[in-house]
Structure 1
Amino acid sequence: MTLITIVPIRASNPTELFVHISSHLINQWQLETRDIRISIGKKMVSVKIQPVEMPANMIYFPEFLFQHFSLPIQHYKFHAIYNKEFHYLFFGPVIGLVTDFKNEGTEEPHFRSIHSFCEELHHGIADNGGFLYVFSYPDFSVQGFYFKDGHWKSAELPFPDVIYNRIHSRRTEYGKEYQQFRQSLADLRIPIFNDRFLSKWEVHEHLIHENHLHSYIPETNIYTKDHLAAFVQKYETVFIKPVHGSQGRNIYKLAKDGNNTLLQSSVTTISGSKEIVLPIDKLYQHLKPLLNNRIYIIQQGIPLLTYQSRGMDYRVLCHKNYQNSWNVTSVVARISAEEEFVSNIARGGEVMTPIHALKEIMDISEAKQLISKIKELAIETALIIDRKSPGITGELGIDIGIDMCHKPWLIEVNSKPSKNFEDGQMKLRPSAKAIIQFCTKLALDSGLRMEDS
């Protein structure tokens, strides 16, 4: 694999398909003929090689050749692989990020909560070698947006070598149109990760059957009237969470208060309150309209360490690397907002380094050991979810709480973790760098497997 730069040049004859390649690259790849096929973004074009004295790892493309590949005319830094058996050069990766956003036609698009992250990815991919564009799945193969001169510009762009899924809506992923898009990717043999949202019950079922993880998982079941009665009797605190929920929305916390129950909601309820006290025997009927026939889980509440009397847990980002192994790329402590029992940033929570959050509770040495345990538990969780989930998993956000005895508990696993909670002080965050590496690995693996055509 060689990192090369493609430079556009003017050509007098727009019908002759050629590239200028340095003698250095011709010798390195042992190109024995002057006719070769070039593959970029799932498209292959036959060209003639014209050796030219030029910088070693540079290739000149005539401007009209960019049109054959549906690429904007500009400089590109690409990884190059020569397939000697089928005699073609693969340049890439071309990475597509699929998400859902409003496309107003003439206006520059806004990619909602991941807008700045898309720009960060663009710069990282351009520096590392590759080309990123963002698209909405209904416009696949018709229109995408690439970043240039500080703006997202529209163009008809090549099929990507790999797609990173950042669809915001679970409902969208279940829709017929999106399923047709997924089938088209399968037909084109374009890999996509992370394939879809994970449900809380699905994650629980994957993990609970691993005996060595039993003691780290709060007791959990599908919400029913009988399970509600059993959990309220058994535990001082109980949580009721939507199976398909995210960002801390529509979560209910129950805390026993003698013969009554304190019901707290992460959002204002239909009664206009986030908190209410009611008799335990009235609990189910009160919850019924709030849950609105949607599927919920009911979960044992764990008394977790707090930070200045505010709720606290830890978000661990795990990513696959070039070697297809899981690594921890980030750990932050998430502190709930005042009067909130969920720590999600979307609900007003804040982040800080784990050491800073723990140093008031324990000494630095113990805090470091505890953070190591959190990382080990997150990696083990990622390995299991990856093994048991269909599709390609390359990124997970794993939420872990620490109880009063300093024992870690698995709270939640997210296949599309927020991009807004890291400190943002680095030009390219470790999580973005990891995504670029995994996209590049998937794309290059795909390029090496291309069949003769």
Structure 2
Amino acid sequence: MSFSLTTIVIIPVKSTDKVNPVIQLSTALLRKLQLNDHGELTLSIGRKTFLTKIQTEKLPDNTIHFPEDLMEFFYLPIQPLKFQAKVLPDRKMLKLGPIAALLTDSIDIRNNEPHFRSIHLFCEELQQGICENGGFFYVFSYEQFLKQGYYLKDDKWTAAQLPAPDVIYNRIHSRSLEYKVEFTHFREKVNQLMIPFFNHRFLSKWEVYEHLKDESKLDSYLPQTKLFSKDHFYHMTSQYDTLFLKPIHGSQGKNIIKVSCNPDSRYSLETSQKSMPANNKEFISLDELFKAIKPLIGNRIYIIQQGISLMTYQSSSMDFRVLCHQTMNNDWRVTSTVARIAAKQEFVSNLARGGTLTRPLNALRNCTSDKKSLEILAQMKELALETASCLDKSSQGIIGELGIDIGIDQQGKPWLIEVNSKPSKNFEDGLTKVRPSARAIIQFCTILAFDPAVIKEDI
């Protein structure tokens, strides 16, 4: 980071002066923070400030005694808390943070305890990482914004009124919810409070394609893509032996249609929903095929994507998920790369459809040499970073992470298959450790909390 932060621990103490609470710290910490003994200081936590006085006492370095009344003013639980600290000399202000909040629509109350469903372990992971690094983390729903959130206390998620956050990480699962009037009002309140809000919405598949198709560094890695219409469908069927039809707002491999032209000039149709009545049928003509597809699509907007003959893993479909996170100055880095292997009889590799994960080099070495595998992995990461950078520059709002799906064709060339603005948070090894991708989120929250000027404005 381009700014200096100091790790401190605040210890709650009984207030000796309830009217004019005083914070106490060691002389060494006072000098380190370049503050004045017995001077006035504005404390900033979340979106609240309080004018207080400073006293020096014989205390451990990097420890501040904090009056309980002051903790209650900031809506902090009365317990020792580790924070990052930054002094703003021109304003005589000491900012403590980050107060990072995760927004979700997946709060399920079980036996009087909240459970965050598919992201529950991930929330515990973020809590662990932020606690180790310094900061305060909680989970909330937009209906309860500024009224109630859940923080981890004694290994239990506890409901309380908590500070307005420095930064909000959007993990809403429902695309339709983001268009509701109530959610729009919530976003307006967030904007009024000037709270950075990242991964602010889902990106549609067509929107992503429109952003990337004119990028000279990327156009040769994009399968040809059109919005679904009868004319586009007939034209692309004449061009390619395989097509994939995908809902522009789809996720987890749902409702994808695969169309193939067989050597006998018959057409076959598969869907990722095995219960579909038209699944695995053959058709003599394009008219017959199109007639079968229309009810599968219904009123939803679909894209048609050129099918690529990709490398497989033991005869199963395979692609790669490259997870990218934003750092300082709109730079991006790769934090994770995995190979996704489709379940038998499936043509999509998503874990929600029974797919499994393996290390990318293990998967590539099954198809090509060690040297070529390393070259392909490097090319995938380069393609993912270029994609993330281009989307970040051309999209409105703050993007903190992207899951980029890449396929490798039979000649070893990478193809950009899909981009996910809210990638899944499955634990590859089942262990609740703080992964590099989670640490990247924590670092991004800290950047936004202490130096939002380095990030483009959230529109």
Equivalent residue for 1:8?
Answer: 12
Quote the offset at 1:106 in angstroms: 7.5
Say if 2:223 is the partner of 1:218: yes
Q: 5 Å matches for 1:187-266?
A: 187-257=192-262, 258-266=264-272
Matches of 1:430 and 1:138 in 2, distance apart? Answer: 31
Matches of 2:34 and 2:241 in 1, distance apart? Answer: 72
Quote the offset at 1:413 in angstroms: 0.4
Matches of 1:18 and 1:180 in 2, distance apart? Answer: 38
Say if 2:292 is the partner of 1:286: yes
C-alpha contact (below 8 Å) 1:239/1:254 kept by paired residues: yes
Are residues 338 and 270 of structure 1, via their aligned partners in 2, closer, same or farther at CA, if it must alter by over 3 Å? closer
Matches of 1:353 and 1:89 in 2, distance apart? Answer: 45
Quote the offset at 1:323 in angstroms: 5.1
Equivalent residue for 1:308?
Answer: 314
Moved more, 4-13 or 352-361: 4-13
Alignment partner of 2:63 out of 58, 71, 93: 58
Equivalent residue for 1:409?
Answer: 415
Amino acid at match of 1:432: A
TM-score (norm 2): 0.94
CA deviation string 1:284-322 (max 9, x = no partner): 111111111110000100000000000000000000124
Equivalent residue for 1:150?
Answer: 155
Are residues 27 and 212 of structure 1, via their aligned partners in 2, closer, same or farther at CA, if it must alter by over 3 Å? closer
Say if 2:180 is the partner of 1:175: yes
For structure 1, the residue ranges without an aligned partner over 5 or more in a row are none
Equivalent residue for 1:436?
Answer: 442
Alignment partner of 1:49 out of 54, 69, 74: 54
Equivalent residue for 1:17?
Answer: 21
Matches of 1:419 and 1:80 in 2, distance apart? Answer: 29
Equivalent residue for 1:97?
Answer: 102
Alignment partner of 1:82 out of 57, 81, 87: 87
Alignment partner of 1:339 out of 333, 339, 345: 345
Matches of 2:452 and 2:208 in 1, distance apart? Answer: 29
Quote the offset at 1:170 in angstroms: 0.4
Equivalent residue for 1:128?
Answer: 133
Equivalent residue for 1:386?
Answer: 392
Say if 2:32 is the partner of 1:28: yes
Say if 2:415 is the partner of 1:397: no
Quote the offset at 1:62 in angstroms: 1.7
Runs of 4+ in 1 over 6 A off after TM superposition: none
Quote the offset at 1:445 in angstroms: 1.1
CA deviation string 1:224-265 (max 9, x = no partner): 011111111111100000000001000000011233211000
TM-score (norm 1): 0.96
Quote the offset at 1:101 in angstroms: 2.3
Identity of aligned residues (%): 51
Matches of 1:300 and 1:93 in 2, distance apart? Answer: 45
SS in 2 for 1:383: helix
Matches of 2:296 and 2:364 in 1, distance apart? Answer: 36
Matches of 1:442 and 1:227 in 2, distance apart? Answer: 43
CA deviation string 1:314-355 (max 9, x = no partner): 000000124542000011000000000000001000000011
Are residues 180 and 345 of structure 1, via their aligned partners in 2, closer, same or farther at CA, if it must alter by over 3 Å? same
Equivalent residue for 1:111?
Answer: 116
Give the number of aligned pairs: 448
Quote the offset at 1:269 in angstroms: 4.4
Equivalent residue for 1:368?
Answer: 374
Matches of 2:348 and 2:357 in 1, distance apart? Answer: 13
Matches of 2:305 and 2:452 in 1, distance apart? Answer: 42
SS in 2 for 1:53: coil
C-alpha contact (below 8 Å) 2:272/2:348 kept by paired residues: yes
Quote the offset at 1:360 in angstroms: 2.1
SS in 2 for 1:163: strand
C-alpha contact (below 8 Å) 1:269/1:290 kept by paired residues: no
For structure 2, the residue ranges without an aligned partner over 5 or more in a row are none
